[in-house]
Amino acid sequence: MTIAGSDSGGGAGIQADLKTFSALGMHGTCAITSITAQNTLGVQDAYDLPVEIIASQIEAVSSDFDIAYAKTGMLSSSEIIKTVVGKVEKHKIPLVVDPVMVAEAGGTLLKEDALSVLVERLFPLSTVVTPNVFEAGVLTDMKITDEKSAKKAAVEIHNRGARAVIITGGHLDAVDVLYDGEFYFIGGELIAGGTHGAGCTYSAALTVYLANGLALKNAAAKAKEFVTAAITGSMQAGHGSKPVNPLANLSIDAERYRVLMDVRDAVSMLKNCRGFPEIIPEVGTNIGRGVHGASTKDDVAAVNGRIVRSDGARTVGDIDFGASDHIARVILTAMRFDEKMVGAMNIKYSPDILSVCKKLGFSIASFDRGDEPTGVSTMDWGVEEAIQKSGRVPDVIYDVGAIGKEPMVRLLGKSAMEVAEKAVMICKCLGQADA
């Protein structure tokens, strides 16, 4: 359960919390404490809900659901904090307290007179309090600039009633300082990406991992991994600070699954094409597809071992990411010039195949292995050379080989299936496939 304010821009508050709960497989409930008129540029206005309505929300949820854990976010007034304290005590709800004071995009979210009530009444009820460096500084009246001052602040907050404290280190070389009587340090790296909603997302993830029974230091490490992915996957949703994306990992997993299925379906199409074995080169063929924004071999799925001629076409190995260096280099180079050209495969070279490609209206480019400079990868250099000559990423890139190097045609496209369809069209035009 999240007990927090609503962000009309959808990047922080209960919106970020509920997305995080769902992304981690938990059903989320909420009690809205305040309604903010907010976007990525800042908080324009805010309205605190009557404490009776806040109490009614917590009561309604608690009377029907088994609340494994709750977290608090924006509790702007002493009256709201006291109301939340009463309900948490009544229902004995395990609690993570995120002492929200200022919105990432700008705007004060906690009244000055509420700070002492937050510390004195709510902190002692919590399993852990999760201030960032700025919030920890306000709570302790310290300037936190390094690990030493962060440790001192963590001890002070612990001494003021919090059973455990995590000072999140987004502003402190990405090192989180956890103190529960002993110190633990959770390292990380400063990464590029938006941070609007990062604190909410971190504390929400921590809440889920604690609800799942993880020890605090393990839950903290997992929450840090989660928010790091959310920051990396942040989206420019407005004109200000980019909101984090709690669904980033799910989106990545979903895309990788779709890429695997695309390659699988393309391989199935090729194996069902009767004439396909005749265009498989001596070294075998492979087909692959890269994920959006692919940058390494591990971002490209292909057949792990190639497709060979053996009573038709037979795959040697499963379809997996990082399976083919050759196809990955073709795709990654092509994507540098056109991010939509994510699919590629190699087939046999012959004048007849090249003639058919021209007849089908495919755009064609080539490179000469004899011009290859020393110290480069043939595929990186050759594909780039052909693209630059063509002025675009063509449908076909071929070379006529060299000593010890088989001549080859490479088909490119916007998916593995599109590439496979081009190969089937070539087979049909050669008269080697079913009509």
Question: For residues 125 and 53, what is the distance between their CA atoms, to the nearest angstrom?
Answer: 22
CB 151 within 8 A of CB 181: no
- When pLDDT is cut at 50, 70 and 90, the band that residue 171 belongs to is low
- pLDDT at residue 170, as a whole number: 63
The phi, psi pair for 412, rounded to 5°, reads: -125, 155
What secondary structure does DSSP assign to 379-420, as a single string?
HHHHHHHHHHHHTS--SEEEE--BTTB--EEEEEESSHHHHH
Size of the chain in residues = 435
Query: For the chain, what is the mean pLDDT?
Result: 93
- pLDDT at residue 202, as a whole number: 96
pLDDT in tens, 178-219: 999 999 999 888 888 888 999 999 999 999 999 999 999 999
CB 399 within 8 A of CB 368: yes
Question: For residues 32 and 91, what is the distance between their CA atoms, to the nearest angstrom?
Answer: 18
| Residues 6+ away with beta carbon under 8 Å from 213 | none
**Nearest Cα residue to 31 out of 58, 7, 52:** 58
Indicate if the alpha-carbon torsion angle 368, 373, 375, 381 is positive or negative.
negative
Q: Is 376 exposed, middle or buried, given 0-12, 13-18 or 19+ CB atoms closer than 10 A?
A: exposed
- When pLDDT is cut at 50, 70 and 90, the band that residue 312 belongs to is confident
Taking the alpha carbons at both ends of the chain, their separation in whole angstroms is: 61
CB 68 within 8 A of CB 211: yes
- When pLDDT is cut at 50, 70 and 90, the band that residue 108 belongs to is low
pLDDT of 104 above 70: no
Domains recognised in the chain with CATH numbers: 2-245 (3.40.1190.20), 251-429 (3.40.225.10)
Average pLDDT over residues 321-345: 96
How far is CA 251 from its chain centroid?
6
pLDDT in tens, 232-278: 989 888 898 899 999 998 999 999 999 999 999 999 999 999 899 99
Average pLDDT over residues 367-393: 93
- The structure tokens listed for 290 are 């890269």
Pairing of strands 408-413, 343-348: antiparallel
- pLDDT at residue 431, as a whole number: 79
The phi, psi pair for 155, rounded to 5°, reads: -65, -40
Average pLDDT over residues 51-58: 98
pLDDT of 300 above 60: yes
Average pLDDT over residues 128-141: 92
Question: For residues 50 and 31, what is the distance between their CA atoms, to the nearest angstrom?
Answer: 12
Question: For residues 285 and 300, what is the distance between their CA atoms, to the nearest angstrom?
Answer: 16
Bridge partners of 43?
Answer: 38
Query: Could you give the 3-state DSSP secondary structure of residue 333?
Result: helix
Strands (DSSP E) contained in 49-130 are: 70-72, 95-97, 128-129
The phi, psi pair for 245, rounded to 5°, reads: -125, 95
- pLDDT at residue 331, as a whole number: 98
What angle, rounded to 10 degrees, do the helices at 378-390 and 325-337 form?
Answer: 30
CB 279 within 8 A of CB 425: no
Average pLDDT over residues 44-48: 93
Q: No. of H helices and E strands in the chain?
A: 13, 18
